[in-house]
Structure 1
Amino acid sequence: MLENDQLRHTKTIIISSATSEDKQRCSDLGVASYVTKPVVQSEFLETILNAMVSPDDIVDIDPPNDVEQPDVALRVLMVEDGYVNQRVASGLLERMGHQVQVAGDGKLGVEAWRDGQFDVILMDWQMPVMDGREATQQIRREEASTGNHIPIIAMTAAAMKGDRERCLEAGMDDYISKPIDPKELAMVLRRHAPDDSPAATEASKEASTDDATVQPNAEADGEVTPDPQPDYEVIDIEHARNRMRGCNDAFLTEIAKVLREEAAQRVKEIEDALAASDVKVVTRGAHTLKGAAANFGAKPVVELAEQIERLGKADDLAPVPDLLESLKQQVARLDVELEAFVNRQIDP
């Protein structure tokens, strides 16, 4: 569509009152995406982020030497509303050799499950429109008449007392915490692989021998140590590299860009919900921000977001305004450091 070489890799998003024929024409022309009028701000932001970090654009990925390859490739439905976690988890699953389809909330997840053929569902707990509990219960109700049962694994940026129990009571089969650890993810997928797959047999062996998360040792594995990074006060680049094993800093840079956008959006979401005394949205926004920031080991942001989430769950918003002001300051610092990291990769 774009003949100028300097614009060849520029993403194009069409905004129009598009018909189905217009949609097909945009696809034929190589348009990255299209948005129909009237434009919804949150959906438009998601469209932009999806265009920015398309998997097809991440071409300089290191060989997945330390990402475990599965005995069998699974068809995974990931139901997750956080943009950063979508990118990180789907990238990790794809490097493991699995097929991944992403749904942005529980309602879309249920619809995707109805229309597709999947071996397992990774289900976030707190989402807009329909949360993970409601989506799981809906799937279980519909399965009751068929006798089928798809494994549903809860994903939540939480280590809160009772979270695992609540997930299992909702009809989920297992639980994995965010940020996702590749070793833990590989193990839980093996545990719930189809009964006739080699992965299912291996799962029982691993359950008795691998009861702890194993962090990679770059020197022991003979890996080349990346160039040292500047001293950051909020983000932890080595933590991010460990969390996203199997990719290099080109992918990490793209995730950093998305995190900058999402962190700002979640803070605004919390602020608006607080003004409206909407406890549910305050809690969900803090929960999502906590999980996204944890991928970069941003402890000051994670800790404040977790405090706000806890208060939301306790239906106590009185202390939140002061915490929100502190959170804004830490997110501003996070943004500065992420920008510095991105710029360093572009112009080392």
Structure 2
Amino acid sequence: MLVAEDQIVNQRVAESYLTKLGLKVEIAGNGQIALEKARSKSYDLIFMDCQMPVLNGYEATKQLRLLENTLGRKTPVVALTAEGTSGERKSCYEAGMDDFLTKPLELHKLIETLHRWLKPSEKNLDLKALESLKDLISNDRSLTEVLIEDLEQTGPVLLHEIREGIEARNLEKISDAAHALKSSAATLGAKQVSELCQKLEDLQDFTEAEFLLKQTERKFFESLSELKTYSSRVRAA
């Protein structure tokens, strides 16, 4: 099982879910790394984030399909995206992807996807664990703590990148950093941060850029403080 995803928070969530389902997982930090791994090794399934640095998920999948034509095999590729629009679904399928999951990942949808694409005879999925899996994951305090720590480390860096994009009047840089932060924030339930990042990602000019960034910065640190308080309260319970 290969997960191509550039954000650490999302990597940890996917790896945790899949590992607890009894699957062996490898991580690729961008589409180029995923392509190189797929060239040297066969995987039962590849989860491919659509927006990644170096080589995005669309281009990586297109190149993978060309490679597989020479290797005589075809690996199921499931798109990972924060959008979920019909237009994006079309883009995924046109690139050669087979299925579609939106982030943040929902366990029951992930399980449904695995059932669709993994052959039961391969015994990759521990079906007996499914009954208790939701409780196990929702009570996985150590995972929650690690995800909060990851957000605390990566969030300020991404906010700084947004500011650099504003100063350089570079909408693409703003959009890329906002998209990454939006996804990580949504995974941990920081809804307001995620919504503000969506507005930054969709910017067409710089009229409201500074105002939106200041709002995002304020909400990010407020949300991070609340997440830490929550984590401490659960740990002490």
TM-score interval (norm. to shorter): 0.7 to 0.9
Question: 1:288 is matched with which residue: 180, 183, 189?
Answer: 180
- Are the structure 2 counterparts of residues 326 and 92 from structure 1 closer, same or farther at C-alpha, using a change threshold of 3 Å? same
| 3-state DSSP of counterpart to 1:149 | coil
Letter in 2 for 1:140: R
- Are the structure 2 counterparts of residues 342 and 174 from structure 1 closer, same or farther at C-alpha, using a change threshold of 3 Å? same
Partner of 2:229: 340
CA distance in structure 1 between the partners assigned to 2:227 and 2:195 by the alignment: 18
Question: 1:186 is matched with which residue: 104, 107, 111?
Answer: 111
Unaligned 5+ runs, structure 2: none
Judge conservation of contact 2:22–2:124 (CA < 8 Å) in 1: no
1:24-68 Cα offsets, whole Å, 9 max, x none, are xxxxxxxxxxxxxxxxxxxxxxxxxxxxxxxxxxxxxxxxxxxxx
1:119-175 Cα offsets, whole Å, 9 max, x none, are 111011111111111111111121122332111111011234511111111111111
RMSD: 2.8
Partner of 1:155: 80
Deviation at 1:255, TM superposition (A): 1.3
CA distance in structure 2 between the partners assigned to 1:317 and 1:111 by the alignment: 38
Deviation at 1:346, TM superposition (A): 5.7
Partner of 1:174: 99
Q: Does 1:279 align with 2:171?
A: yes
Partner of 2:140: 248
| 3-state DSSP of counterpart to 2:188 | coil
Partner of 1:261: 153
CA distance in structure 1 between the partners assigned to 2:154 and 2:82 by the alignment: 15
Question: 1:300 is matched with which residue: 189, 192, 205?
Answer: 192
Letter in 2 for 1:289: L
CA distance in structure 1 between the partners assigned to 2:215 and 2:88 by the alignment: 26
CA distance in structure 1 between the partners assigned to 2:228 and 2:14 by the alignment: 22
- Are the structure 2 counterparts of residues 132 and 244 from structure 1 closer, same or farther at C-alpha, using a change threshold of 3 Å? farther
Judge conservation of contact 1:106–1:132 (CA < 8 Å) in 2: yes
Deviation at 1:320, TM superposition (A): 2.4
CA distance in structure 1 between the partners assigned to 2:54 and 2:135 by the alignment: 29
Partner of 1:11: none
- Taking structure 2 as the reference length, the TM-score comes to 0.88
Partner of 1:142: 67
Judge conservation of contact 1:269–1:285 (CA < 8 Å) in 2: yes
CA distance in structure 2 between the partners assigned to 1:298 and 1:102 by the alignment: 25
Partner of 2:17: 92
Q: Does 1:324 align with 2:216?
A: no
% identical aligned pairs: 32
The count of residues paired between Structure 1 and Structure 2 equals 234
Unaligned 5+ runs, structure 1: 1-75, 203-220, 224-241
CA distance in structure 1 between the partners assigned to 2:58 and 2:123 by the alignment: 30
Partner of 1:129: 54
Deviation at 1:84, TM superposition (A): 0.4
Judge conservation of contact 1:273–1:282 (CA < 8 Å) in 2: yes
| 3-state DSSP of counterpart to 1:145 | helix
CA distance in structure 2 between the partners assigned to 1:157 and 1:182 by the alignment: 16
Letter in 2 for 1:187: E
1:197-221 Cα offsets, whole Å, 9 max, x none, are 4789x9xxxxxxxxxxxxxxxxxx9
CA distance in structure 1 between the partners assigned to 2:151 and 2:136 by the alignment: 14
